[in-house]
């Protein structure tokens, strides 16, 4: 994706939304993720991504894209990059989620708005609101039953 003035802000919005999913995926052994990528077990990897995302997002919002990459050699810690598709209402985001030892990162490859505005700031706001609406939230006033 061509970098624009809004790219960094949009990547921060997506990174913040994906933070809990990345934390869930980081609980999986790096060797298992790498072997799934190496041996092209994309169905298994897609299941793991869906399982991690279902705790935080509405069904179908986050899914594995076309695969990913990994870096594993003797002198560095492993790094896994997963291609993800995010489909909250009104927007489709193709992103690469990087998982490392104690951190992660997000790089947006492409964003497609269903009904884009001429103003990039409006599109950025739409992205943020759409991701918020697609998340599971704790109910504000939980029902309390008498004992």
Tell me: the pLDDT tens digits for 104-114? 899 999 999 99
In a domain, 54, yes or no: yes
pTM comes to: 0.90
In a domain, 49, yes or no: yes
In a domain, 58, yes or no: yes
| Residue 146: predicted pLDDT | 55
| Residue 1: predicted pLDDT | 65
The burial of 25, by beta-carbon neighbours within 10 Å (0-12 exposed, 13-18 middle, 19 or more buried), is given as buried
- Structure tokens, 17: 């939304």
Helix (H, G, I), strand (E, B) or coil at 107: strand
Handedness of CA 50, 53, 56, 57 (dihedral sign): negative
Q: How many domains does the chain contain in total?
A: 1
In a domain, 78, yes or no: yes
In a domain, 66, yes or no: yes
In a domain, 46, yes or no: yes
What domain range includes position 95? 7-133
């Amino acid at each position: 994706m061509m970098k624009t003035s809004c790219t960094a802000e949009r990547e921060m919005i997506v990174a913040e939304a994906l933070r809990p999913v990345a934390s869930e995926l980081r609980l999986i052994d790096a060797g298992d993720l790498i072997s799934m990528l190496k041996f092209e077990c994309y169905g298994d990897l897609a299941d793991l991504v869906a399982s991690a995302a279902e705790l935080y997002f509405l069904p179908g919002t986050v899914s594995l894209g076309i695969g990913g990459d990994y870096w594993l050699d003797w002198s560095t810690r492993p790094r896994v990059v997963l291609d993800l598709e995010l489909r909250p209402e009104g927007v489709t985001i193709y992103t690469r989620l990087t998982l490392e030892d104690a951190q992660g990162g997000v790089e947006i490859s492409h964003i497609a708005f269903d009904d884009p505005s001429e103003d990039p700031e409006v599109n950025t706001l739409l992205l943020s609101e759409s991701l918020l609406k697609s998340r599971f939230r704790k109910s504000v006033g939980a029902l309390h039953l008498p004992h």
